[in-house]
Amino acid sequence: MSKENNGERKINRIAVFTSGGDAPGMNAAIRAVVRTAAFHDLHVYGVARGYEGMIDGDFSRLESRDVANIIQRGGTILKTARSQRFMTPEGRKAAYDSLLAFEIDACIAIGGNGTFTGASVFSKEYGIPFIGIPGTIDNDLYGTELTIGFDTAVNTAIEAVDKIRDTADSHNRLFFVEVMGRNSGFIALSTAIGGGAGSLLIPEVDTSLEDLIDTIRLSAKRKKLFSVVIVAEGNKIGGAATIAQKVKEQFDYDIRVAIIGHLQRGGSPSAIDRLLASRLGYRAVTGLLDGKENVMVGLQDNKVSFTPLKDAISKEKKPDQDLIKMAEILAT
């Protein structure tokens, strides 16, 4: 049974895929898409390996039983990849031919900035409607307060910082802990506040090495014998190892570096991520049926909203300045 979209498009078959970096909660989103589509008598095809699988025609029919027992699993059952071929006109033409072969009427893309950029270009070229679901631990997409995977990544980072604080305290050490986030400081900011860090370095704040050294000196005057500095991987004065080496030249401290890395991407999604993914997956399908296209579904003021893909990928999302100020005050 075909479903009419505002009397203009008929939506009968949907393709869903995950692309770019994996994020905890992607499976919960896939589950929500498949089961919501089944409720509305739509056929869903999962595309393996994102745009790479779309080019290769790697599609498989998904029904409700296929997504049982995945809501608690990290990663993505559809696998993911970054596709250089999709960046070429020839690659996008091959992807379009695959969609035609499976009679796909619309696509739901679960991913981040790169995924949505590809979807926006592809939709303009071939007229296939897309709805994006924000699946990235970085939480850097405009138009949503939370992205799928962010909460789990922060919980993982804070758990690591809690353990590092124990050994820092025991040995009177200064630890530099590097967290992920690409070019945004959302993970680092939340980790610093939740983990009780002594200092924070994020891309959105111009903190010089001299500023950091002054902060460490002030802590030393207050007889603070250990500290944890949270470093966002995209901050402007270097990674945790580089900064630690420069600081060591100024102080006779026992300094250590911990890079949490890809641990933040794995693991069972938190309750918040499962709920968010379920809400967004459900609304992505009903949004298509309501006539929405080329938009990202997100959460604002705890309500589901739609943002044009072009805005989601081009407008800058910045951390709350009051949270940054609070982090500075609580670290003193």
Catalytic positions: 138
CB of 20 closer than 8 Å to CB of 114: yes
Residue type, 152: T
Residue with tokens 């995950």, as numbered in its chain: 18
Other beta carbons within 10 Å of 173:
17
Residue 252, Cβ density class (10 Å: 0-12 exposed, 13-18 middle, ≥19 buried): exposed
How far is Cα 145 from Cα 150, in angstroms, rounded to an integer?
Answer: 10
DSSP 240-276: HHHHHHHHHTT----EEEEE-GGGGG-SPPPHHHHHH
List of E strands, the chain: 3-5, 9-11, 13-18, 43-47, 59-62, 106-111, 130-134, 174-179, 199-201, 227-232, 255-259, 295-300, 303-308
With the C-alpha atoms ordered 109, 5, 278, 321, is the resulting torsion angle positive or negative? positive
